[in-house]
Amino acid sequence: MSLRENITLALRTVRSNWLRAILTLMIIAFGIMALVGILTAIDVGINSLSDNLSNLGANTFDIEPRGEGVRGHRGGRREKIGEPISYDQALAFKEAYDFPARVSVSLPCSGTATIKRADEKTNPNVGLFGIDENYLESKGFELAAGRNFTYLESIRGGFIAIIGSEIVDELFKGQPEKAVGQYVHAGNIKLKVVGAMQSKGSSMGGNEDRRVLIPLQTGKRYYGSSRTNYNLMIAVNDANQIDIGTDYATAVFRNVRGLEAAQDNDFEITKSDSLIGLIRENTTYFRWAAVGIGLITLIGAAIGLMNIMLVSVTERTREIGISKAIGAKRSNILTQFLTEAVTISLIGGLIGIFLGVLAGNVVAIIASGSFLFPWAWVIIAIVTCTGVGLLSGLYPAMKASRLDPIESLRYE
């Protein structure tokens, strides 16, 4: 028989024992769904993070105390944490860094601020940041209305603010032009709105649109302390010079920190591309865990499929005897039962791929990312299902092909 005829016969056998076949292929489907779903979710999450970081551009890097960033663990041990970057150190670096770049200094003041306007107020989950005049451009924010802070406003302070699009939606009915010039309260501080930002969405677990920005000196005055860490972000004018820029930044900041030649850096520099690479490396364990979960389920499915094929051989013993009596060869019987096993496995695999892609892309919906169809994992899943079908069906198919035709015809 041709391959097409074998597949047709396999589908007919599945229909004749539909309940038993469905239970077996659903075990396969859930195994493939776990495999494809988890791997797709990981890829969607990384792609969403890459898109968010790409908004900063490939020309930016951060300076932070050693041990504060994602690289703070080495070989299972926690590195000694460097001293916080003080206000004076941040400004000294900004003044001394005479590379073609923009240096932004910022201060996270509060993540639970409530913003009020007259009788209206937001929920207490607004981020309040003290920033300088370079912050918006370095972070990739754009203004929908109003203006940015000036250099003098950032270092002298002032009761002014730039608000995110969600604050505009809640307090000014989504009209940024009407927000400019109005007053809001952040805690006990009365602020005049001088700018309103365009929507940017969520990034790395934080809502970029739910924030209020105030001058750096104002943030320091109300929220700073001797142990406050100030964030340094550098945006190099030419992305091709980012490596030179980071090397120069290392030298300048060592001088700012007063480190001697023999002392190690007590700070670290993180670039967006290196951060993505680090996250991909760390998700390797999750990928192996997903593969392990899928394989464990598929082993159970393979045992179930082999069982159903052995039962099928027993039930169709007389049919096998008739086929051999009219000229069917051992290879024909072997191919027929292997095709049936692979067909059941692939049907379950296709259902699992469909469910896995949908489940994995739930992350894309949550993270406001784009839909991802994981072609690589789909191909791996199809190959795996084919292998499961061949391995599970090989012994039953060999048993069927070796049946004696005379004994098979006598079988009741």
Q: Are 123 and 164 a contacting pair, CB within 8 Å?
A: no
Residue 65, domain member (yes or no): no
Residue 44, domain member (yes or no): yes
Q: Are 124 and 110 a contacting pair, CB within 8 Å?
A: no
Residue 275, domain member (yes or no): no
Same domain, 287 and 373: yes
Query: Which of 277-286, 303-312, 332-341 has the least mean pLDDT?
Result: 277-286
Last residue of a domain, one of 265, 292, 309: 265
Instruction: Tell me what pLDDT residue 404 has.
Output: 78
Identify the burial level of 195 via C-beta atoms within 10 angstroms of its C-beta, where 0-12 means exposed, 13-18 middle and 19 or more buried. Answer: buried
Same domain, 292 and 258: no
Query: Which of 109-113, 193-197, 381-385 has the least mean pLDDT?
Result: 381-385
Q: How far is CA 100 from the centre of its chain?
A: 33
Instruction: Tell me what pLDDT residue 151 has.
Output: 94
Kindly give, in sequence order, each residue whose CB lies less than 8 Å from that of residue 408, ignoring residues fewer than 6 positions away: 317, 318, 320, 321, 322, 324
Average pLDDT for 242-254 = 92
Residue 8, domain member (yes or no): yes
Same domain, 240 and 301: no
- For residue 202, give the H/E element and its range: strand 202-203
User: Taking the chain, what is the end-to-end CA distance rounded to the nearest angstrom?
Assistant: 26
3-state secondary structure of 66: coil
Same domain, 47 and 163: no
Nearest residue to 343 (alpha-carbon basis) of 3, 109, 47, 79: 3
Same domain, 249 and 114: yes
Same domain, 221 and 358: no
Q: Are 90 and 230 a contacting pair, CB within 8 Å?
A: yes
> How big is the chain by its Cα radius of gyration, in Å?
32
**Number of structural domains found in the chain:** 2
Last residue of a domain, one of 265, 296, 314: 265
Kindly give, in sequence order, each residue whose CB lies less than 8 Å from that of residue 90, ignoring residues fewer than 6 positions away: 105, 230, 232
Instruction: Tell me what pLDDT residue 319 has.
Output: 82
Nearest residue to 112 (alpha-carbon basis) of 123, 98, 120, 99: 123
What digits encode the pLDDT tens for the residues 2-60? 667 777 777 777 777 777 778 778 888 888 888 888 888 887 777 666 555 545 555 78
Residue 204, domain member (yes or no): yes
Q: Give the confidence band of 327 by pLDDT, cuts at 50, 70, 90.
A: confident
CA distance 76 to 74: 5
Average pLDDT for 352-374 = 79
Q: Write out the residue range of the structural domain in which residue 246 sits.
A: 83-265
Q: What share of the chain is helix, strand, coil (3-state, %, to 5)?
A: 55, 20, 25
Instruction: Tell me what pLDDT residue 72 has.
Output: 45
Alpha helices by DSSP H, listed for 101-188, are: 135-139, 151-156, 165-172, 176-179
Same domain, 145 and 196: yes
Instruction: Tell me what pLDDT residue 292 has.
Output: 82
Residue 58, domain member (yes or no): no
Instruction: Tell me what pLDDT residue 410 has.
Output: 67
Tokens of 328: 């069917």
Identify the burial level of 47 via C-beta atoms within 10 angstroms of its C-beta, where 0-12 means exposed, 13-18 middle and 19 or more buried. Answer: middle
Same domain, 255 and 359: no
Phi, psi at residue 150, to the nearest 5°?
A: -90, 170
Same domain, 299 and 260: no
Average pLDDT, the chain: 84
DSSP 234-288: EEESSGGGHHHHHHHHHHHHHHHHT--TTSPPSEEEEEHHHHHHHHHHHTHHHHH
The more confident residue out of 369 and 103 is 103
Instruction: Tell me what pLDDT residue 113 has.
Output: 94
Same domain, 114 and 255: yes
Residue 339, domain member (yes or no): yes
Last residue of a domain, one of 219, 236, 265: 265
CA distance 192 to 58: 34
Residue 59, domain member (yes or no): no
Same domain, 295 and 258: no
CA distance 218 to 195: 16
What digits encode the pLDDT tens for the residues 367-393? 666 777 888 888 988 998 889 889 888
What secondary structure letter does DSSP report for 208? T
Q: Give the confidence band of 206 by pLDDT, cuts at 50, 70, 90.
A: low
Kindly give, in sequence order, each residue whose CB lies less than 8 Å from that of residue 132, ignoring residues fewer than 6 positions away: 94, 104, 105, 106, 149, 151, 154, 155, 215, 216
Same domain, 97 and 203: yes
Alpha-carbon dihedral angle through residues 61, 63, 67, 69, given to the nearest 10 degrees = -40
CA distance 336 to 328: 11
Tokens of 50: 């890459």
275 to 62, 103, 161, 183: CA distances (angstroms): 11, 20, 31, 39
CA distance 390 to 296: 17
CA distance 219 to 66: 24
Query: Which of 100-109, 117-126, 231-240 has the least mean pLDDT?
Result: 231-240
